[in-house]
Amino acid sequence: MPRFDPHPERRPAVVAGASSGIGAATAAALAAAGHPVVLGARRADKCEELAATIRAGGGEAFAHPLDVADADSVKAFAAAAGDALGPIEVVVSGAGDLAAGRLHEIGSDAFAAQVEVHLVGAHRLVSHFVPPMVARRRGDIVFISSDTVPAPRSWTGAYVAAKNGVEGMARTMQMELEGTGVRASIVRPGPTATGMGMTWDADTTGAVLEDWVKWGHARHPYFLRASDVAAAVATVVATPRGAHLRLVEVQPEAPLEES
């Protein structure tokens, strides 16, 4: 007799931050793997465009506005997701953006805004989606972290602090959820080509990159694609029950050396 029942054939998934970048790529990857998906972000129009593309390709997708910094928005999103697709089996927490500034120069409100989105927002998703998973004795929640946790980068201290909090929360949940059948996992990307940081002005971007080179953060010029990170998320949630990929770090491969 198997230790665990297999995953059900139909595993509805929600993706927070699905309007672009890693979130959009993850929603597409999960849909391609057969998951009905709910796409959530503040830019609901972008989510609907992707949902329409998924449906046109034969998948099942639904878009709904989501601002993880707003408790009422998360509550409404969770209710709409359940109404649209039924009990949610997979949650991917990846909403957020990257603000730049030296810690001693940014205001506390700006610092708190990063923590509110990346960390508190992730917990809002947990509070709505994980208790029903525990009641059903199965489910996956995946937190998108960052390799700035083990290797902090200057000019992004609020983001670094928030992502450290996310990983601390996820590791605590791994202990608290042990024996429930619910898996909490961390996917930790390295440098990834997304829209994050694209709103920085030229002076800020130049200062940040100069500092990162000084501290050895730019070993080579290659970046991950969002689809590379999405593939890791899809692998985590597809892992048969009885095994748990607790932390997966994804880094860009360096260019081939001259032979």
Residue 190 contacts residue 249 (beta carbons within 8 Å): yes
The pLDDT value given to residue 138: 97
Residue 33 contacts residue 227 (beta carbons within 8 Å): no
Residue 220, Cβ density class (10 Å: 0-12 exposed, 13-18 middle, ≥19 buried): exposed
CA distance 176 to 218: 37
The pLDDT value given to residue 99: 84
Q: pLDDT of 186-240, one tens digit each?
A: 999 988 876 555 565 666 666 666 666 655 666 667 789 999 999 999 999 999 9
Confidence of residue 251 (pLDDT cuts 50, 70, 90): very high
Q: pLDDT of 114-128, one tens digit each?
A: 999 999 999 999 999
Residue 124 contacts residue 166 (beta carbons within 8 Å): no
Residue 222 falls in the annotated catalytic set:
no
25-29, 46-50, 212-216, 237-241 — which is least confidently predicted?
212-216
Domains of the chain: 13-245 (3.40.50.720)
CA distance 11 to 38: 11
CA distance 186 to 121: 16
Q: pLDDT of 126-154, one tens digit each?
A: 999 999 999 999 999 999 999 999 999 88
Q: Which of 73, 159, 166, 186 is catalytic?
A: 159
Say if strands 182-189 and 192-193 run parallel, antiparallel, or are unpaired: unpaired
Q: pLDDT of 94-104, one tens digit each?
A: 998 888 888 99
